[in-house]
């Protein structure tokens, strides 16, 4: 049952993907395939499984391929029907099913993740909402997406009504790539967060617990998103808004994610996700493993 109080998931896709150049010069990074499925489709499936009914994409003129991907393709469907390719036809029809509403808001200028999220405020109004970063992909093979991770976060929010997000341990050498938390209180179910620092240096990092790009916020967050870029990144950061919420005495909870997650906005993380999903594919996984062994020999 979809809860009407938590129906929106905001997915920001307006970034330029400079870390993935040259692949992303004219292809949105969210359309790069993890094995045979675009990154964005994995993320939309995760959101559907967690029981959200509306996705708001915060988008940019260079990202039209994403909207096209989720549109019905009459020509392709007619061709697959004529060639009696039933399983492919079913797969293609599922991509554009109407199980979930897809809404699009343009972010005129890529001023940062915080700014992108604020662009959703006219649609979500006073309702709580999830934020799902599409370049962070959670390993669907090592969790149950109807119960773990985003679904668990949703359940936690509906019970506790506190802003919350998923974290995962990262190697100490990688803390400068993520938003890192300083825990205040740790229980077996969740962590009350004292601080969140965007991309701290290894010496500054208060822990190795990093945000993995899955959040649930009340509409209060909009009042804490700065109007102007600040800090070393020169972007309007979501982490600054979260810290401001904490400073204004709002409790934020962190929950540890289940299974591996991949930073697909980065070449190494993308490669890791691609290989991992390819090897676990039901039909081709074993063939691909053997092929790799042969290549490496």
Least Å from the CB of residue 286 to ligand UTP: 33
Least Å from the CB of residue 109 to ligand UTP: 7
Least Å from the CB of residue 107 to ligand UTP: 5
C-alpha distance across the termini of the chain, in Å = 51
Size of site (CB under 6 A) for ligand UTP: 20
Count CB atoms within 10 A of the CB of residue 254: 22
Binding segment for ligand UTP (CB under 6 A), chosen from 75-83, 127-135, 168-176, 275-283, is: 127-135
Instruction: Return the closest-CA partner of residue 271 out of 261, 262, 259.
Output: 262
What is the contact mask toward ligand UTP in residues 253 to 292, using x (rule: CB under 6 A)? ------------x---------------------------
Least Å from the CB of residue 148 to ligand UTP: 22
Half-sphere exposure of 164 (CA within 13 A, CB side): 24
Contacting residue, 32, 50, 124, 133, with ligand UTP by CB under 6 A: 133
Q: If binding is defined by CB under 6 A, does position 137 make contact with ligand UTP?
A: no
Contact 6, 129 (CB under 8 A): yes
- Mind giving me the DSSP string for 111-149? --HHHHHHTTHHHHTTS-EEEE-TTEEE-GGGS-TTTST
Radius of gyration in angstroms for the set of CA atoms belonging to the chain, rounded to a whole number: 19
Binding segment for ligand UTP (CB under 6 A), chosen from 111-119, 193-201, 271-279, 283-291, is: 111-119
Distance CA 42, CA 167 (A): 19
Count CB atoms within 10 A of the CB of residue 170: 21
Least Å from the CB of residue 208 to ligand UTP: 19
Q: If binding is defined by CB under 6 A, does position 17 make contact with ligand UTP?
A: yes
Which residues of the shown chain bind ligand UTP in the complex (CB under 6 A)? Answer: 12-19, 58, 107, 110-113, 115-116, 133-135, 265
């Amino acid at each position: 049952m979809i809860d009407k109080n938590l129906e929106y998931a905001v997915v920001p896709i307006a970034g330029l993907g400079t870390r993935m150049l040259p692949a992303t010069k004219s292809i949105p990074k969210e359309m790069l395939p993890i094995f045979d499925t675009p990154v964005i489709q994995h993320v939309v499936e995760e959101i559907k499984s967690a029981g959200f009914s509306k996705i708001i994409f915060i988008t940019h003129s260079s990202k039209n391929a994403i909207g096209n991907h989720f549109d019905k393709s009459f020509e392709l469907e007619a061709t697959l029907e004529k060639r009696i390719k039933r399983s492919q036809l079913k797969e293609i029809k599922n991509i554009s099913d109407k199980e979930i509403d897809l809404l699009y808001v343009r972010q005129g200028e890529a001023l940062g993740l915080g700014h992108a999220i604020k662009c959703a405020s006219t649609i979500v109004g006073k309702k709580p909402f999830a934020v799902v970063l599409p370049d962070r992909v959670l390993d669907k093979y090592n969790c149950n997406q109807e119960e773990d991770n985003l679904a668990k976060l949703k359940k936690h929010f509906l019970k506790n009504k506190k802003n919350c997000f998923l974290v995962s341990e990262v190697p100490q050498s990688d803390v400068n790539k993520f938003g890192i938390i300083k825990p205040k209180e740790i229980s077996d179910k969740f962590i009350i967060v004292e601080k969140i620092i965007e991309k701290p240096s290894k010496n500054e990092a208060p822990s190795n617990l990093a945000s993995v790009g899955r959040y649930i916020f009340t509409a209060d967050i909009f009042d804490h998103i700065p109007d102007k870029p600040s800090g070393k990144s020169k972007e309007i950061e979501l982490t600054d808004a979260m810290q401001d919420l904490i400073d204004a005495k709002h409790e934020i909870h962190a929950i540890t994610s289940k299974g591996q997650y991949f930073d697909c906005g980065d070449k190494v993380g993308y490669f890791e996700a691609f290989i991992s999903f390819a090897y676990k594919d039901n039909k081709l996984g074993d063939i691909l493993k053997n092929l790799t062994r042969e290549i490496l020999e």
